[in-house]
Structure 1
Amino acid sequence: MKYFERRNLPVNIWFNRTFSTASHYVEMIRHNPDNKPFKIFATHPSRHSIMLQAADYAELEPALPAHEYAAYCLDFCARHKIDIFIPHYRLAEVAKHRDEFDRIGTKVMLAGAADMLSIVDDKGRLFEFLSGVPDLHLPDYYVVRNLEEFEKAYKLLTGKGRRGCLKPVSGEGGAGFRIITDEPNTIQSLYEWAGATMHIEEVVRLLGSEPSFPPLMVMEYLEGSEYSVDCLGSAEGIIAAVPRKKVEGRVRLLEHNEALIRLAHEIHRVLPLQYNFNIQFIYQGDTPKLLEINPRTSGGLYTTCLSGVNFPYLAVKLLLGEAFEIPSPEFGIYATYFEKEYVIKRPF
């Protein structure tokens, strides 16, 4: 019998700082089909975060250096008798202290050990690690740390007839992503949406302003359809995988794409991530190429759950060692989303 069952109290779940769409996952856990009671805790450094509104108990999260963050998490879990900690921020740092969380009775939902999370966080190391996966295609890429390395990499890339782009080897979402162009701006560009393009001369000027810089990935720009494959995994294999296609604008399609589902299983055989994780692909012509892997719930998972698979709640059941049946995902669903007002009732 679990500790929280002996207490005859709700299961205490803590979400540390995360994105606003995680509020959907709070509701999917809270309104679960088993009518299991949960108490949701949330922390965030922004006093206006919607996660602080969605929680039953909320605190402002302090700004701390990486080496102090795990101690803060351990203290929070001990003070509030947290049964399940679902981290989003500083995953690898939290993973280093998993045994300490176990000792205070907190189960931590981590996709893998600290060394595995470090590999996934660094796109250069990740691509190298997955280079031998059958049928998996990687983009042409180079990791650079100074202007000389960049110029050599860019010449090799364009020599293959590829358009180039830049992105940090470690980061979340589209932060730092730039498409490199050699087309000069015209007055017409002042009447168009500002994009992520940067002229090659500006790239060279910026990179040449320092003798070296944190590693950047120079990669072929992938221009086809983009997919996110949301997965629920265990150490033994993937339990559920649902590809979510970006159709246009905010429109998404839950597509039964067997090729991407098969690739997700192949990746998992060498990188056995657990609980909720997300694999992103972009097609180049007819070939899907790996973009990145997120070892956590994705920002758009709430749309994927329209398939009938309650990914957040099933991950909780998996962590608790509870048996469950996986419903067959429903595919062919088109969905979109829109803004809705939300009154802040608990400002800090």
Structure 2
Amino acid sequence: MRVLIPDGESGHAIAVAQSLLLNEEVELYIMAQKKNPPSKFLKGCKAFKWIETTDEKSYLESILKFAFVHKVNIILPIDEASGKVFSQYKDYVEKFIPIIPLPELETFHLVTNKRLLAEFCIKNEIPVPMSWKLSEFNKELQVNDVQLFPTIIKPECGNGGKNIQLIKSKEEYLEIDFESLNKDFGDYFVQEFIEGYDIDMSVLCMNGQIKAYTIQKALLGRKSKFAAAAGIEFLENNELKKVVEKLMLQLCYSGIAHLDLRFDKKTNEYKLIEINSRFWGSLLGSTKAGVNFPYLCCKVRFNEEFEIPKYSKNRYFDIFSLLKRPYFFRDYNVKIKETNANFLFNGFLANAVNVFNRG
């Protein structure tokens, strides 16, 4: 099976590629809008091509031409931006080459907008934190300024915890100059801060039905309180799973997704925070646990039948985060096999380029 990754510049490209290459039947081809992305240097990459244009029509023509030359069987976009392009032009592209399952474009726009997603969930009785537009929150503040804090302000879009702030008091909120905030990821809104803990679910769906999943709870955080965890443990949680099953069915969702949820200690329920319609930072953890999401995306697209994979209830740590704080090796009794060290070694050159590029 010849798989083409069209967005090899993605920060998740190495993890996706290495997961795919665990299967001997896979031949990997990579394109990117950067000349020398780290993924280009993976030894399993059969061919690489730089995409010289950002015009959507030329972008797709360049990808299709490369795919024809190398007799590619399927296209596997990684990030949301490329996923949206292929979702929009799915009917055209699939006249020539299949694409892995993707959400409909309207669904893409809904789930990647945190405020619209919260409104959808409220309408469909999915537990979410209370949310307000800035104008609504300011009116609420005049009436009920005691129970509203701590609270969170965040942009409607974006990922990685960027531009999210925890506001502890009314005074702190009133000092914010919203006009000066970075608007690259949309307008800001306010969301209730949930006292509890983070827990996530990664899924592969087809028409709202879950075909594969893992559930993981944060063990080790990063410097940013709102960034993805550096250490996780895999577990089962039927209550959380039911929430996600209901939501995916209502969205009639197709494709992969990583759902961030938080357990609310006050209401004793799991509340959805956001959905990332792309591959995620702990993907190699899911792969090590026994669920190879990139490979399963291809199998689902080709209508290959398989049972929902079972996964190991193990732990997974990002070794770079541990090396920055080596005492965590001792505090968490981390074993090398619980990290991504084997993937870093196998893709040494690509990962070395990645580290160099990050400075």
TM class by shorter-chain length?
Answer: 0.7 to 0.9
Aligned to 1:53: 41
Cα deviation digits, residues 295-327 of structure 1 (max 9, x gap) = 222221221223212221111111122233433
Q: Percent identity?
A: 18
Do the aligned residues in 2 keep the contact of 1:157 with 1:163 (CA within 8 Å)? no
Alignment counterpart, residue 38 of structure 1, candidates 27, 30, 33 = 27
Q: Distance in 1 between matches of 2:140 and 2:58?
A: 41
Higher mean displacement: 12-21 or 121-130? 12-21
User: Given the alignment of the two structures, is residue 152 of structure 1 paired with residue 139 of structure 2, yes or no?
Assistant: yes
Q: 1:334 to 1:150 in 2, by over 3 A?
A: same
Q: Distance in 1 between matches of 2:36 and 2:143?
A: 47
User: Given the alignment of the two structures, is residue 226 of structure 1 paired with residue 213 of structure 2, yes or no?
Assistant: no
Q: Distance in 1 between matches of 2:99 and 2:46?
A: 19
Deviation at 1:221, TM superposition (A): 1.9
Superposed CA RMSD: 3.0
Specify the SS of the correspondent of 2:94.
Answer: helix
Deviation at 1:139, TM superposition (A): 0.5
Q: Distance in 1 between matches of 2:83 and 2:94?
A: 16
Q: Distance in 2 between matches of 1:346 and 1:228?
A: 30
Structure 2 stretches lacking a partner, 5+ long: 222-229, 321-343
Alignment counterpart, residue 306 of structure 2, candidates 300, 312, 324 = 324
Q: 1:74 to 1:202 in 2, by over 3 A?
A: farther
Q: Distance in 2 between matches of 1:152 and 1:27?
A: 51
Q: Distance in 1 between matches of 2:207 and 2:291?
A: 19
Deviation at 1:248, TM superposition (A): 2.4
Aligned to 2:319: 338
Q: 1:158 to 1:93 in 2, by over 3 A?
A: farther
Q: Distance in 1 between matches of 2:274 and 2:181?
A: 29
Q: Which amino acid aligns with 1:28?
A: S
Query: Which residues of 2 match residues 92-171 of structure 1 at below 5 A?
Result: 92-103=84-95, 105-134=96-125, 136-144=126-134, 151-152=138-139, 158-171=145-158
Specify the SS of the correspondent of 1:16.
Answer: coil
Q: Higher helix share goes to which structure? A: 2
Do the aligned residues in 1 keep the contact of 2:290 with 2:312 (CA within 8 Å)? yes
Alignment counterpart, residue 173 of structure 2, candidates 181, 200, 203 = 200
Query: Which residues of 2 match residues 70-89 of structure 1 at below 5 A?
Result: 70-81=57-68, 82-87=72-77, 88=79, 89=81
Deviation at 1:138, TM superposition (A): 1.0
Q: 1:215 to 1:323 in 2, by over 3 A?
A: same
Alignment counterpart, residue 18 of structure 2, candidates 7, 23, 27 = 27
Aligned to 1:288: 270
Deviation at 1:330, TM superposition (A): 2.3
Q: 1:84 to 1:330 in 2, by over 3 A?
A: same
Q: Distance in 1 between matches of 2:312 and 2:102?
A: 25
Deviation at 1:157, TM superposition (A): 7.2
Specify the SS of the correspondent of 1:233.
Answer: strand
Q: 1:296 to 1:21 in 2, by over 3 A?
A: closer
Q: Distance in 2 between matches of 1:156 and 1:59?
A: 59
Q: Which amino acid aligns with 2:32?
A: T
Do the aligned residues in 2 keep the contact of 1:44 with 1:52 (CA within 8 Å)? no
Q: Distance in 2 between matches of 1:112 and 1:92?
A: 8
TM-score by length of 1: 0.78
Query: Which residues of 2 match residues 209-224 of structure 1 at below 5 A?
Result: 214-224=186-196
